[in-house]
Structure 1
Amino acid sequence: MKHHRLIIRLGTALAGLALLTGLGGLAPEPTAPQDMVKVGMDGPITCADPDGPGPLPEGPPRLEGVLVVDLVDGLTPGQVAAVGERHGLELRYNSPYSLAGALTVARVPEARMASVLESLLADPEVQAAEPDYLFQSMQMPPVSLETSRFPDDPLYKYQWHMEQIRVRQAWPWSTGRHAVVAVIDTGVAWTDHERFHRVEDLEGTRFVPGYDFVNRNHYALDDHAHGTHVAGTVAQTTHNGKGVAGVAFDAAIMPIKVLSARGFGSLADIADGIRFAADRGANVINLSLGGPVPSSVLGDAVRYANRRGTLVVAAAGNESRPRPSYPAAFPESLSVSALDFQEELTFYTNHGPDIDLAAPGGDTRADRNGDGKPDGVLQNTILVGKPEKEDYLFFQGTSMAAPHVAGAGALLASQGVTSPNAARALLKATARSKGADGKARGFGAGVLDVERATWRAGFVYGAGRLVLAGMAGLLALAALARRGRWLQAQFMWPGLLLGSSGAFFLPLLMPRDVAFSPFLTLGIPAWDIPLLGAAAHANPLFYSCLIPMAASMLVIERPFLRALVAGLAAGFAGHFLFEALVGSVQVQYIPAFLSRLWLVGHGLLCLFLSQVLGEEAQ
């Protein structure tokens, strides 16, 4: 009984701390004042160098007379206006959602562009300033297709690209449930509205609210075809008796439109879209777009998403150059080159040693598998530029390769690997390597293999958590053994399994086509995934000593159950210490540099609690 008061005091303190941190993200996000949001910033396109005729009379395409000004985060609207006044500009937020990041645009006469840029870049409240460059989708021309036991989608037999990444072997481990993938593209044909309609094979796909940065509405509908095709590769409705399959078919899509019906989009809209997705809980962002400009504004947005816990996947580009385009070239992006049916680099893909990973992008000029169809990537989408019509189309491009990897990221997020750095490392570590020569040529770490990735995240990580939990439980077991409480010791093991890893081995013992419920295959700390969504994984309400502490207070007067809770606390200890070791999560609302310290600290608290309960079990 000597530890009862200590347990109660610790539990009360931890409950307060976890509630403060766990509920810290519930406040609504403020939006920019409507009268300061940009209106009609579109205009003619120019390739003239904004620095004047000089040595570079021409540069990448950009919106004529428009600058993107990325200010220091957190400036108030009044401070933003003051910065504009200092430079003779009317700064306007790029969208209603640009307030926190202070991402603004301004019209500037072409004759003043060079001098205004120089003045802005010398201002300490300006992080970056540059012309509003245009980026485009990474798609090659499409080819139309006239209309296994699992999946039963009749056109799956033409999706050689799904077999190349071994997706069917991954589904018993994860289908992406509770994960969210933001498709930042030309929009998605996800609902019926005016002349737009939901394509038939997205009928069962789940969507979460997005935004249309081109037309300034919340529909984000596709008027091109590219975005819907990309979304289908990520999460096409699967095993519904029609059409084709998607990699993470139980994941949700967040449609974000930044590219027009022509397939082009402005720098400001793309950067804004990335921040929007990261702020709204996307586990993965797919960027099947790019350009040649190493934009500071775009780089800042990608780094922001990475800090927010979002994996950024980007197409390497279709110019057949020895380096990826931007944003794929940023270190925080996972750059993806394109493969054909024979797992060779395609004729169009950008390549070289800076590529991270290779995935199927297709080659519609060939039929190397002899199925009578072009070897493109097949998905259901609207006809190009005709949102009222749809078909099953073969596309090719690094745009098609990237969403295979984004879907793989969703599978991992559903399994609890939500740190972007950990997901990036795991995908590269489990790729089918092409050796040093392949790395130099443009395969990166190798060919995407989702079976290997989900096996490691499911079985290997589950076993690791259980082993560490077993080691932690030895202290409580020793305390029980000293008192001869062998009968009570048997009750430790169910608690230890529940607290650490769940029945992670079920896909091996009971083979099936799709994953079991995460309530069965994940430890209790990871139950925040099915309860709150993968975007909220590692919430302090679950990733702290709070739950075992509360359970221990409930059994203080029930001595026979103390061994069960001792096992539960040891299981939590093993789970937290494993996560601290591999870095697969970042604790929510905790500074990133303190995340592992938090996990170790709460792991040790759970270890202490387990030992105390073992000593007091009767």
Structure 2
Amino acid sequence: MKRLLTASFAAAALVLGGLTLAAPGAAAGPSHTAGQIMVKFRDHGAAAAVLRGYGLSDGPEIGGTGARLIKVPAGKELQLVDALGRNPAVEYAEPDQIVTPAAADQYIDRQYALNNSGQSFTNTAGTLTVGGGTADADVDAVEAWGVTQGYGIRVAVLDSGVASDNPDITPKVVARGNFSGASTGEDNYGHGTHVSGTVAASEGNTIGVAGVCPGCSILDGKVLNDSGVGSSSGLANGINWAVTNGAKVINMSLGVRASRTLETAVNNAWAKGAVLVAAAGNGGNQTKIYPAGYTNVIAVAATDNKDAKASFSTYGASWVDIAAPGVNVYSTFPNHKFYLGTQNNRSMGYDVGNGTSMSAPIVAATAALAWSVNPELDNQAIREKVQSSADNIPGTGTYWAKGRVNANNAVQPPPPAG
């Protein structure tokens, strides 16, 4: 694997992770998007008449869910959700929840997740010792490349976008969609570029890092704006766009409160054959977040370089399916000024990230690798293959159900019968 450390390092905590409604310790902000709600009618033919009764107009469908995005007066969202929810012509009405990033407070310097020998390395400045840990705490991605690098598989990353100026990941993007409300699709936040690099950064090109599935292509669905904030409706639209554009795997390193519209979008994508993966969250508790909490999504917790649960990781074997490295994961960042760099001293180009946001794309990329060697399988079989081939590390059965993902195991043929 490549070990080129082209970025300078800083000793500050990186604010990245599986996204929840508010960062731990941060002041709580508004929980829903102002000026709009999501409404699904039992018979859409009645929509216009019902909405006129509340002084409202019909709006666009949200991501193939049947729900509509309805503009309402700012400040009246919850009142109108309550009123419409009581109307017999309405199946449900709900606020358009805000999606925001959460924090994890760990920071060293070094990616180890692909192939960790247990050795330590010193960064280019010579000031910090990095790496180390347990020799087998990685996901055996380099070994998996002896079988496949995932060519021909599209992975959708629904996040803050993918930077157009990082040569290690930009060429891997085959389509872009913007569902965030930001004026451009550029990643000016940084999170989506980091996640995408973990999935599919180029291998063997003498620069930067390698993704777990370096042959994969990226569908860049920008659902978080330049401040790292998005909406349930934007995410639902992004899921629908991803499936329409051929995503075999959808990664969502983000989270929000439960939403029937979002759950419908997830279920639609599953029904159309996609594997969906999401970060379990960084609350350090067992509180369920979504979309990770939905049945048709693989929920991913975070481990460190000793194969232990990351202190910040949300956990619970009743709903968290699998684990993957999420502490000090080294990946791509934009080569222009971006929010996480400005706020948390992240380096342009490459640096580490911490959180279940970093764990989820490792699992998503593993699913893509498995699918590339088993194209005849359906999404249920690929999900089962990824989960059943995980390493049974301590915490399996208590913190997560299936173990820590192992990419090489996931691409191997099944043992002979008998």
The answer to whether TM tops 0.5 is yes
For residues 457-476 of structure 1, the aligned pairs below 5 Å read 459-460=413-414
1:325-370 CA deviation, whole Å, 9 max, x = no partner? 11111111100000000010011110112210000000xxxxxxxx
Q: Deviations over 1:445-475 (max 9, x none)?
A: 00101111100xxx338x78xx9xxxxxxxx
Residue 424 (str. 1) matches residue 388 (str. 2): no
The structure having more radius of gyration, on CA atoms, is 1
Deviations 1:9-43 (A, max 9, x none): xxxxxxxxxxxxxxxxxxxxxxxxxxxxxxxxxxx
Q: Do 2:64 and 2:240's aligned partners in 1 also have CA atoms closer than 8 Å?
A: no
- Counterparts of 2:304 and 2:108, CA distance in 1: 18
Which residue of 2 is the match for residue 64 of structure 1?
34
**CA 1:328–1:68: 2 relative to 1, 3 Å:** same
In the TM superposition, residue 433 of structure 1 has moved relative to its aligned partner by: 1.7
Q: 1:265 to 1:215 in 2, by over 3 A?
A: closer
Q: Which runs of 5+ in 1 are unaligned?
A: 1-45, 48-57, 192-197, 363-375, 468-618
Residue in structure 2 matched with residue 321 of structure 1 by the alignment: 285
Quick one: distance in 2 between partners of 1:82 and 1:387? 49
CA distance in 2, matches of 1:99, 1:131: 18
Q: How do 1:47-446 residues align onto structure 2 when only pairs under 5 Å count? A: 61-71=31-41, 80-93=47-60, 98=63, 101-108=66-73, 110-111=75-76, 113-114=78-79, 116-120=81-85, 122-124=87-89, 126-138=90-102, 140=104, 164-189=138-163, 191=164, 198-202=165-169, 205-215=171-181, 220-291=185-256, 293-353=257-317, 354-362=319-327, 376-382=328-334, 384-385=338-339, 390-415=348-373, 416=375, 419-434=378-393, 438-440=396-398, 442-446=399-403
CA RMSD of aligned residues (A): 3.4
Counterparts in 2 of 1:111 and 1:224: CA distance versus 1, 3 Å: closer
Q: Quick one: which amino acid aligns to residue 96 of structure 2?
A: D
Inter-partner Cα distance in structure 2 for 1:183 and 1:314: 10
Q: Distance in 2 between matches of 1:335 and 1:265?
A: 20
Change beyond 3 A, Cα 1:403–1:159? farther
Equivalent-residue separation in structure 1 for 2:136 and 2:178 (angstroms): 30
Distance 2:77 2:202 in 1: 51
CA distance in 2 between partners of 1:276 and 1:305 (Å): 10
Q: CA deviation at 1:257?
A: 0.7
Task: Assess, with a 3 A threshold, how the Cα gap between structure 1 residues 434 and 62 changes in structure 2: closer, same or farther.
Answer: same
The structural deviation recorded for 1:213 is 1.2
Please say which of residues 114-123 and 338-347 is displaced more in the overlay: 114-123
3-state DSSP of counterpart to 2:333:
strand
| Superposed displacement of residue 83, structure 1 | 4.6
The 2-side partners of 1:216 and 1:438 are apart by 40
Contact 1:71–1:104 (CA<8 Å) still a contact in 2? no
Code of the residue aligned with 2:351 in structure 1: it is L
Counterpart of 2:250 in structure 1: which amino acid?
I
TM-score (norm 2): 0.78
1:93–1:104 Cα contact (<8 Å) kept:
yes
Distance 2:156 2:363 in 1: 13
Asked if structure 2 preserves the Cα contact closer than 8 Å seen for 1:212 and 1:221, the reply is: no
Structure-2 separation of matches of 1:159 and 1:130 = 48
CA distance in 1, matches of 2:262, 2:168: 33
Deviation at 1:214, TM superposition (A): 2.0
8 Å Cα contact 2:58/2:68 also seen in 1: no
Partner of residue 545, structure 1: none
Q: What is the Cα deviation at residue 428 of structure 1? A: 1.2
Answer 1 or 2: which has greater helix percent.
1
Query: What residue number does 2:14 align with?
Result: none
CA distance in 2, matches of 1:265, 1:103: 17
Deviation at 1:246, TM superposition (A): 0.3
Name the amino acid aligned to 2:98: L
CA distance in 1, matches of 2:35, 2:181: 20
Q: What is the aligned partner in structure 2 of residue 536 from structure 1?
A: none
> Quick check: 2:199–2:365 contact (8 Å CA) kept in 1?
yes
Q: Which amino acid aligns with 2:55?
A: G
* Contact kept in structure 2, 1:314 and 1:333, CA below 8 Å: yes
Shift of 1:296: 1.2
- Deviation of 1:62 after TM superposition, in Å, equals 1.4
Compute the TM-score of the two structures, normalised by the length of structure 1.
0.54
- Equivalent residue of 1:201, what SS? coil
Q: Once the two structures are aligned, what percentage of the paired residues are identical?
A: 30
The one-letter amino acid paired with 1:286 is: N
Aligned positions, number:
369
SS at match of 2:306: coil
Q: Post-superposition shift, 1:262?
A: 1.5
**Residue-by-residue CA offset, 1:520-556 (whole Å, 9 max, x unaligned):** xxxxxxxxxxxxxxxxxxxxxxxxxxxxxxxxxxxxx
In structure 2, how many angstroms separate the alpha carbons of the residues matched to 1:434 and 1:324?
Answer: 22
- Is contact 1:94–1:268 with CA below 8 Å preserved after alignment? no
| CA distance, structure 2, for counterparts of residue 392 and residue 398 of structure 1 | 18
Give structure 2 stretches of 5+ with no counterpart.
Answer: 1-20, 23-27, 116-120, 124-129
Distance 2:246 2:139 in 1: 26
**SS of match in other structure, 1:134:** strand
**Per-residue CA distance 1:537-595 (angstroms, 9 max, x = gap):** xxxxxxxxxxxxxxxxxxxxxxxxxxxxxxxxxxxxxxxxxxxxxxxxxxxxxxxxxxx
Can you list the C-alpha shifts for 1:275-321, whole angstroms capped at 9, x where unaligned?
21122211111000013x22111111111111111111000001112
Shift of 1:419: 2.2
2:391 partner amino acid: R
Query: How far apart are 1:92 and its partner, in Å?
Result: 1.9
- How much has 1:427 moved relative to structure 2? 1.1
How far did 1:215 drift? 3.7
Instruction: Answer whether contact 2:159 2:222 (CA < 8 A) is retained.
Output: yes
Change (3 A) 1:225 1:116: closer
State whether residues 314 and 335 of structure 1, in contact with CA within 8 Å, keep that contact through their aligned partners in structure 2.
yes
The one-letter code matched in structure 2 to 1:445 is K
User: In structure 1, how many angstroms separate the alpha carbons of the residues matched to 2:136 and 2:361?
Assistant: 11
Q: Is the 8 A contact 2:84 2:93 kept in 1?
A: no
Greater relative contact order (Cα 8 A, min sep 6): structure 1 or 2? 2
CA contact (8 A) 1:142 1:394 kept: no
